[in-house]
Chains A and B, each alone.
Chain A
Amino acid sequence: MEIRRGIAVSEGVAIGPALVLDTEGVRIEARFVPAKQVDGEVERLHAALGTAAAAARVRQQSLTAALGQDIADIFDAHGGLYEDPKIHAAIEALIRGQLFSAEYAVSRYIRGYVKRLDADASGWAARFRADFLDLEKQLLATLVGERGGPLVTTGSPVIVVAHDLTPSETAQFDPKTVHAMATESGGATSHTAILAGALEIPAVVGVGKFLTDVSGGDTVIVDGTQGLVIIDPDDATLRKYELLRRAQLSPSGVHRLPTRNIPAVTRDGVRVYLHGNIEFPAEARPCLDRGADGVGLYRTEFLYVNKAHDPTEEEQYEAYRAVLTELGSRPVVIRTLDLGGDKFVPATSVATTEKNPFLGLRSVRLCLRNLPLFKTQLRAILRASVHGDARVMFPMISTVMELRQCRSIWREVQEDLEEAGIPYKHDVPIGTMIEVPSAALVADVLAKQVNFFSIGTNDLVQYTLAADRNNETVAGLYNAADPAVLKLIAMVVKAAADAKVEVTVCGEMSGEPMFTALLLGLGIRTLSATPRKIPELKRTIRALSMPDVQKLAAEALRLETAREVNAFLTAHLKRTLPDAEV
């Protein structure tokens, strides 16, 4: 039994067989094979090498005409590598000697070879890196292809363990089969963590190196509440967790939480609105079940990732209509596409790689460069608006000009619908996310252009402190309690109040009870958080009173470090809610 500790990002307990995904997202189901299967694995290896060599030669033939002999010969050289007797011998030795599966042996050998290339002090040999990684990819595609399709078709329940997961991989997970996930890297606010929370799959991230200790099929326990990953548990541990797991499945779960039908009001009677952040239409119902007053953030990225083509207007309309209908008269804030070129490439544009994607062409910037894509989305939102209280929100606005452009495109789309005689609601409120420091600084100007603000604290923290929340080495700088962040939030709230526009907080910060008193004290009256946080937030709000939180906010703004703010807020929460988990 091995127990590893990581960051608990999505509550709950799951037990099941491990499905190991390597860094490329290729599924290596088993790392080891029984001794009697070794000959079969060696045969699979040779067959895969043969297939890959033949495919390389076919590619060589077809490229000769198009790109010339020199380029095409690269593929002949790849063919030569698939036939390299030394490579054959080395991989075969790993299968026979270590009982590795063919997939795992290929991966281990090639990764080792690439490491040796990287070790060339002159740097010359590193140029072959991409070639060898390509060989690995081709071979794994052949080998894995034989054993089963892509991850989504995994029939039986599994626990996914990986170095890292991309949002698009996570989005493919079906909670019916993927019962939990654990990753070596990642932080508390990574997209993986957010999505795991949305799908309500227990998840632990930032575990550090542990994949070498897991083989496909090993029994793994993921304790997303304590942040533990237990590999190959002993009987006592297994029994304990079986009990925990059954307890969470009991029908007395969330739907009957006592807070369900009571409003979020402070002790002195101030009403606070709690909205849910959702990603998929199917989350709308659970969001209401938890007592949400609306959807404060409806992410629309799921419509675009993993698709062969951009979503049609009709597909989008259906997705928006479903949520608006479910929410009835409650507000639904639909955020326009918020992806960067690193995660998503519009089907209509040419792929380019960016050196610094988080400061690059992403989110609304991408939309403004790709008007057909953007207009299709806006049209679908406007058409769906007749089904409920729709609001539209633009992400990652960093200048006033961008917001003006968005508004003029919004008007154009309205005129188009008008001309075509298609019904839409004429007074759909427009909002902007405030998640770039420049936007916070000119919030007073932006406020003249919109009906509401929504402060996206995850990105605001990242951009204010210039620290990547997924990079463990600088993640310490990433702190929502940093005085710089608090000052920006206070500025935005003031600008909103002066201009009489609504302001919401929709980052992870709004879901943490530790910050609830502070945000209320700063003047926030609407919080949008992961739906499962709503009952806890409600309970917290009902323990607070306005004069107290206003005093708290004023004092917090005078503190000098994130650490002081943290300690101060934690102590306050302990005083107001002695049994709160902090």
Chain B
Amino acid sequence: MANPPLGLHLRPANAIAKLVRRTKCVVTVALGDKVADGRSPSDLLMLFAPPGTELILEVVGDDAAEAVEAVIAILTAAGEADEHPPAS
């Protein structure tokens, strides 16, 4: 279980996907009946997880415990607020 204070926005989604692609684990993140593939930032964003949402992590594979720690660290640290200038 993780409860990202700033929500699951673009940068943590990217950081999680990068991390998962480096490990040998299968990571899924669930919210209600929606499940996202940890390797896909676009999938993670589709969970629609604003600040304070409880997310369920499922990690299967080698070093699963470490991966869980790392994902939770990303979610709880998740940078500044998601206010960024329109990218172009």
The answer, among B7, B10, B41, for a CB contact under 8 Å with A74, is B10
- B42 near A122: Cβ-Cβ < 8 Å: no
Contact with B along A62-78 (1 / 0, CB 8 A): 00000000110111111
Tell me if A116 is interfacial: C-beta within 8 Å of chain B. yes
Q: Chain A residues near B84 (CB, 8 Å)?
A: 70-71, 74
| Residues of chain B from 28 to 52 with CB closer than 8 A to chain A in the complex | 37, 39-43, 45-46, 48-50
Contacts A86-B37, A86-B43, A113-B42 given; indicate if A71 touches B13 (C-beta within 8 A): no
The answer to whether B61 has its CB under 8 Å from any CB of chain A is no
Contact with A along B52-88 (1 / 0, CB 8 A): 0000000000000000000000000001101011111
Q: Bin the interface of chain A by size.
A: 20 to 34
Q: Main SS of chain A's interface residues?
A: helix
- Report if A124-B50 is in contact (Cβ < 8 Å); known contacts: A71-B84, A80-B18, A84-B41: yes
The count of A-to-B residue pairs whose CB atoms sit within 8 angstroms is 73
Cα–Cα, bound, A73→B9 (Å)? 12
Closest to A71 in B: B84
Complex contact B40–A84 (CB within 8 A): yes
CB distance from B83 to the nearest CB of A (A): 9
Contact across chains for A77 and B13 when beta carbons are under 8 A apart: yes
CB distance from A125 to the nearest CB of B (A): 5
- Name the residue of chain B whose CB is nearest to the CB of A90: B42
Beta-carbon contact of B86 and A130 below 8 Å? yes
Instruction: For the complex, give the distance between the alpha carbons of A131 and B85 in Å.
Output: 10
CB B17 to nearest CB in A, in angstroms, measures 6
A235 at the interface (CB under 8 A from B): no
Tell me if B14 is interfacial: C-beta within 8 Å of chain A.
Answer: yes
A125 in contact with B87 (CB, 8 Å) = no
Residues of A within 8 A of B14 (CB): 73, 76-77, 80-81
Asked if A80 and B48 sit within 8 Å, CB to CB, the answer is: no
| Minimum CB distance partner of B53 in chain A | A124
Q: Knowing A71-B85, A76-B14, say if A81 contacts B41 (CB, 8 Å).
A: yes
The distance in angstroms between the C-alpha atoms of A125 and B46, with both chains bound, is 8
Q: Roughly how many angstroms separate A377 CA and B43 CA in the complex, as a whole number? A: 54
CB of B10 within 8 A of CB of A125, answer no
B residues near A124, Cβ cutoff 8 Å: 7, 48-50
Is A127 close to B, CB under 8 A?
Answer: yes
Nearest Cβ in chain A — how far from B79, in angstroms?
A: 6
Asked whether any CB of chain B lies closer than 8 Å to the CB of A548, the reply is no
Nearest A residue to B45 via CB reads A128
- Roughly how many angstroms separate A259 CA and B54 CA in the complex, as a whole number? 79
**Listed A/B pairs (5) with beta-carbon separation below 8 Å:** A76-B14, A125-B45, A125-B46, A128-B10, A134-B88
Known: A77-B11, A81-B41, A85-B40. 9 other contacts (CB 8 A): A70-B79, A74-B10, A80-B18, A84-B17, A86-B39, A113-B42, A122-B50, A125-B46, A130-B86
List 4 tightest A-B contacts by C-beta distance, closest first: A77-B14, A80-B14, A86-B40, A124-B50
